[in-house]
Amino acid sequence: MRIVGNVQKTVIFEIERRNTPGESSYWEEFELPYVMNMNVISALMEIRRNPVNMKGEKTTPVTWDMNCLEEVCGACSMVINGYARQSCTALVDQLKHPIRLQPMKTFPVVRDLIVDRSSMFDTLKKLKVWIPIDGTYDLGEGPRMPERKRQWAYELSKCMTCGVCLEACPNVNDKTNYIGAAPISQVRLMNAHPTGAMNKDERLTLLMGPSGIQECGMAQNCVEVCPKGIPLTTSIASMNRDTTVQMFRNFFGSDHMVN
């Protein structure tokens, strides 16, 4: 933050930009008047309104992704001062200045701060992370879940597929296709559901496949950065146990295994 004279405060943003996928990135600086309670999103909106950099040059508006603006959708994830997080809850007053904005490197960069998170959603499809219920007719009330189980399952359901846990994981890089913590935790959530448990063995078998749970090195970065405080390492430990049991079931045949 910079003070001009004794009155006007300004905020400097250093933004890593890229015009097209695959193009080399470049840095551009912007200086904005300080506004109390400003977050990164509101600053980017001001830059979009008046895209003039610190050199006084008219430039293209910075592009980024956003939706809910209340840390629910996960769309506005980016790297702020070296840490992946949501930009809607990143307050300027709480950040080191100048503020450096970069796109997450785990996912392909589309333009500027926008990344393509399709791989996360493709992983959820691959692991069949949904409850297979035919909604074409009324099935009546489903089985009830014990309250204590429902409470911890609700914590897992807070995942917004933001990708921050993958960005922080050292095992997710260009040398591996490791799926990361979020999909593993979602398998645990679906398997805990009374109806979802019908397909538990299939999900666990898929989780043991290439780039699956065995690629986790338990660095625990994921649980440190999760904006929703989801117990990701607990989920990974639980799925480690379940996949081990499932491995024996697959080898010997489930009919020979005792619950």
pLDDT tens digit string along 67-119? 999 999 999 999 999 999 999 999 999 999 999 999 999 999 999 999 999 99
Domains for the chain: give ranges and CATH numbers: 2-115 (3.10.20.30), 118-256 (1.10.1060.10)
Q: Under a CB-based contact definition with an 8 Å cutoff, are residues 207 and 201 in contact?
A: no
Whether omega before 33 lies within 30 degrees of 0, making that bond cis, reads no
pLDDT tens digit string along 159-176? 999 999 999 999 998 888
Total Cβ atoms within 10 A of residue 190? 22
User: What's the CA gap between 164 and 106, in Å, rounded?
Assistant: 9
Strand, coil or helix: 58: strand
Does the pLDDT at position 256 exceed 60? no
195: which residues sit within 8 A by CB, 6+ positions away? 131, 132, 133, 142, 143
Nearest to 107 by CA among 186, 158, 162: 162
pTM for the full predicted model: 0.86
